[in-house]
């Protein structure tokens, strides 16, 4: 798997849904139809839909409708004014965050690929966002994140290179204020994280990242079966 595929997902689809929907549990759990209904419950506006289509055209996996909805919801719940996004994609996740953020909030989006940052910039501008509301930083997140200020952020979205998820989480704990939230996208990674027989590099690192969340006393967390999985944790 190439780094490009690892950073933004390797199985693009027009819907942005995982390759396989959750199956009906033996105890009467939610089946594929209900799962799909929940994913599409909140309609997407045209700017996000356009950005998701652009992502597919770029060979990236767009966020699912459910992922977009949760990101918007979390940003609104914490009244986010300062947000860090690791992995700009084509701008769809950034737009989702903006929809929930404070009207004066600022998004800092970090990505190694100029093409992705260009697409995100275009998406933000087309949505009518003023340039002072976002700063796009081209570079390695592992080099950029340590330069950001401790305890200054309300929300951190981890959506970059899966092989660096553990380091991103460690940085998010430092960056977040008390009561701030970290969201880790692709936390179930196409259903592979739950498959104990799978030992792909990305799968192993995501499992390690999830374990680190469980072992971090400052985090109160939940793992949500939304899109390709969202781990959401609040810093106590």
Query: At 225, is the pLDDT very low, low, confident or very high (cuts 50, 70, 90)?
Result: very high
Nearest to 4 by CA among 71, 47, 63, 61: 61
> CB atoms < 10 A from the CB of 179, how many?
10
Contacts of 201 (CB under 8 A, 6+ apart): 1, 162, 163
pLDDT at position 7, please? Answer: 40
Does residue 131 surpass a pLDDT of 90? yes
209 and 184 Cβ atoms separated by less than 8 Å: yes
Contacts of 2 (CB under 8 A, 6+ apart): none
Query: At 6, is the pLDDT very low, low, confident or very high (cuts 50, 70, 90)?
Result: very low
- What is the residue whose two structure tokens read 């690892």? 6
Average pLDDT over residues 33-45: 92
106 and 131 Cβ atoms separated by less than 8 Å: no
Average pLDDT over residues 120-131: 98
pTM of the predicted protein model? 0.88
pLDDT at position 45, please? Answer: 93
Q: CA dist 213 to 63, 101, 124, 151, 165, Å?
A: 22, 25, 31, 18, 11
Instruction: Report the distance separating Cα 136 and Cα 88, nearest Å.
Output: 8
Does residue 210 surpass a pLDDT of 90? yes
Q: What is the CATH number of domain 27-235?
A: 3.40.50.150
Instruction: Report the distance separating Cα 174 and Cα 6, nearest Å.
Output: 25
Does residue 14 surpass a pLDDT of 50? no
For 203, the 3-state DSSP assignment is helix
Average pLDDT over residues 213-231: 97
Domain residue spans of the chain? 27-235
> CB atoms < 10 A from the CB of 105, how many?
19
What would the two tokens of residue 7 be? 């950073």
Beta bridge partners of 85: 109, 157
Residues 72-115: pLDDT tens digits? 999 999 999 999 999 999 999 999 999 999 999 999 999 999 99
pLDDT at position 30, please? Answer: 77
What would the two tokens of residue 129 be? 């966002």
Query: Packing angle between helix 201-215 and helix 165-175, nearest 10 degrees?
Result: 30
Does residue 13 surpass a pLDDT of 50? no
Does residue 4 surpass a pLDDT of 50? no
Please give the mean pLDDT across all residues of the chain: 91
Instruction: Report the distance separating Cα 168 and Cα 105, nearest Å.
Output: 22
pLDDT at position 31, please? Answer: 87
- Higher-confidence residue: 164 or 1? 164
Beta bridge partners of 224: 230
Does residue 3 surpass a pLDDT of 90? no
Does residue 172 surpass a pLDDT of 70? yes
- What is the residue whose two structure tokens read 């704990």? 173
pLDDT at position 69, please? Answer: 98
């Amino acid at each position: 798997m190439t780094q490009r595929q690892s950073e933004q997902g390797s199985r693009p689809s027009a819907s942005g849904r995982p390759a396989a929907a959750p199956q009906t549990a033996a105890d009467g759990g939610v089946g594929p139809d209900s799962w799909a209904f929940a994913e599409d419950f909140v309609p997407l506006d045209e700017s996000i839909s356009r950005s998701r289509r652009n992502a597919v055209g770029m060979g990236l996996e767009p966020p699912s409708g459910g992922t977009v909805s949760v990101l918007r919801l979390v940003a609104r719940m914490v009244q986010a004014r300062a947000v860090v996004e690791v992995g700009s994609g084509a701008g769809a996740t950034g737009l989702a965050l903006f929809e929930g953020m404070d009207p004066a909030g600022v998004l800092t989006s970090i990505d190694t690929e100029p093409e992705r940052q260009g697409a995100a910039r275009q998406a933000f501008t087309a949505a009518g966002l003023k340039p002072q509301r976002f700063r796009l930083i081209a570079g390695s997140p592992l080099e950029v994140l340590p330069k950001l200020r401790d305890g200054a952020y309300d929300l951190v979205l981890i959506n970059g290179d899966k092989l660096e998820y553990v380091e991103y989480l460690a940085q998010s704990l430092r960056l977040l204020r008390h009561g701030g939230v970290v969201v880790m996208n692709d936390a179930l990674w196409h259903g592979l994280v739950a498959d104990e027989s799978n030992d792909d590099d990305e799968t192993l690192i995501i499992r390690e990242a999830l374990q680190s969340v469980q072992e971090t006393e400052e985090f109160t967390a939940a793992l949500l079966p939304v899109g390709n999985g969202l781990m959401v944790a609040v810093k106590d």
